[in-house]
Chain A
């Protein structure tokens, strides 16, 4: 589904390479995790894939079902099924959560040449999905992420994911700032979306989120490259021994 080949990325404003040849293939139906120490390039990878400004791709490619992502605008990537759950979801005062989501859902449908979803159908759908994430009517009416707790913001990200039904979901440090209960709620939301036609790339610094979202494949990233790939046991090794041993082994 997602195929990244020899991806090299530097900051636009300065001559600093951040990704130095990332190769990664995520198959449909699978959950891949990327772990790594701070500054290893994990978040940059998520931003480059979703199209944030400020980065320059100097080499390589990234395709989603064969379509080159790196040439597309962020909204075009979203419309073909890419989704990034933000580490720090953005507050947008004055714009209702529901208005925002309906605008997004319909913009994507329009881009794909599909019919817009009616107000009534949308309301029914969002109520159902919000309930599973324990998001109440008040949170749906409030401005996007304004006054939300850390846990509420992350649940709101998962709600957006559930409504937009992407095929490739990237979760950037979704566990940061969450207590155990909130993490469980978020993980349940993600697990409910696991499906043969959908893949996940879970970026995390710690292993604990992976207790709740069980990955099929774990990658360790360091200095802009994937240095080791293994099964779920790799995450446990990080948990027990830190990154030191693995990185030494890889070097």
Chain B
């Protein structure tokens, strides 16, 4: 009998990795994650959750791409506290704004007692119920480093995490927002030719976490990220991702609203052409009353590009007065591009308002003619309509300065192709 291909792929990958040294709480968490991974094994093509995206490039023992591209700073000009990750080397500025603590995972692991212990692997494990997320388990087991960020007050300045270097980094970040605290994290850079990044986030009651991530505009990258978040009562979680190009991206987000009156907004704008496969997989769990969740995803696909959206809102029994909204849309610029969407609602409470929708469309010919009749050449007119299409997702960025910054970046990247 031939060996099970998933078993084989998992064994090959594990053989190529070394469990980082060190015992303590992190060592125990790594072993726990490895055990969970071995039980479910790495994803294969036939897994329902990977039906639209071939996981092979993310799973295989050696990355298929070996030279990470240099990438420009999309947040240039934004006043932020810059933390750089270059391979395993992390540089954190000496002076931090009030209400903020930042360290490395490696340092946190050396402490016997550390808040990180209660978070590392725990959110990830919770996020694997009911759907297992083996690449995140792999990350929890083998992550070489990461940031541990704790906000104890309202942090006045955003933290810009700029990740570069390495060809196959596995990074694991932790963010803890204490009661009433708030912090904004910006992420940019290309982590590597292939990357696996997990971020576990705990937002306590009345806390606020804003996250803006920009990936682009390099093409040679295979990226896989997971956000695992828990939201306490009256807390707010907002995450936006702009993706420009990239051969393969799978961004997963699992948000669990555990306290009443919590708010979760997740949004994404992506565009790519040709060798571009972009997958947003989102799972939002309402487990408290009177919470609001919103997902807005837009993808622009050209020259045979593929966009995937899998989004589920689960409203548990007792999560009354839930307000859930989900929209996923694609703009196909030719007949060769494909958008695959799987929106799902699963509701066990009887007094909720949930809606979801998904659309696929082409460029509006009337609008295109209108712009061209004013003298705008066809390609530039198409770019304007692409910006118009993506604008609704960009509107999800609350900070106007950051929104304008990203909008400008997007227009610039579009005009370059």
Contact = CB atoms under 8 A, between A and B. Distances in A.
A53 interface: yes
A78 interface: yes
Nearest to B395: A94
Contacts of B372: 51, 73-75, 78
Nearest to B391: A94
Contacts of A77: 373
Contacts of A143: 388, 391
Contacts of A95: 384, 387-388, 391
A193 B43 CA distance: 67
B19 interface: no
A75 B375 contact: yes
Interface string A71-114: 00111011100011010011011110000110111011001000
Interface string B172-201: 000000000000000000000000000000
- Interface of chain B: mostly helix, strand, loop or mixed: helix
Interface in B364-378: 364-367, 369-378
A43 to B, nearest CB: 13
Contacts of A164: 374-375
Interface size class of B (residues with CB under 8 A): 20 to 34
Contacts, number: 81
Interface string A3-29: 000000000000000000000000000
Contacts of A50: 373
A52 interface: yes
B376 A104 contact: yes
28 contacts: A51-B373, A52-B373, A53-B369, A73-B372, A75-B381, A78-B373, A78-B375, A79-B375, A83-B373, A84-B373, A86-B370, A86-B373, A89-B370, A90-B370, A92-B385, A93-B388, A94-B387, A94-B388, A94-B391, A94-B392, A104-B374, A104-B375, A105-B375, A107-B376, A107-B380, A143-B391, A160-B374, A164-B375
Interface of A: 50-53, 73-75, 77-79, 83-84, 86, 89-90, 92-95, 100-101, 103-105, 107-108, 111, 143, 160, 164
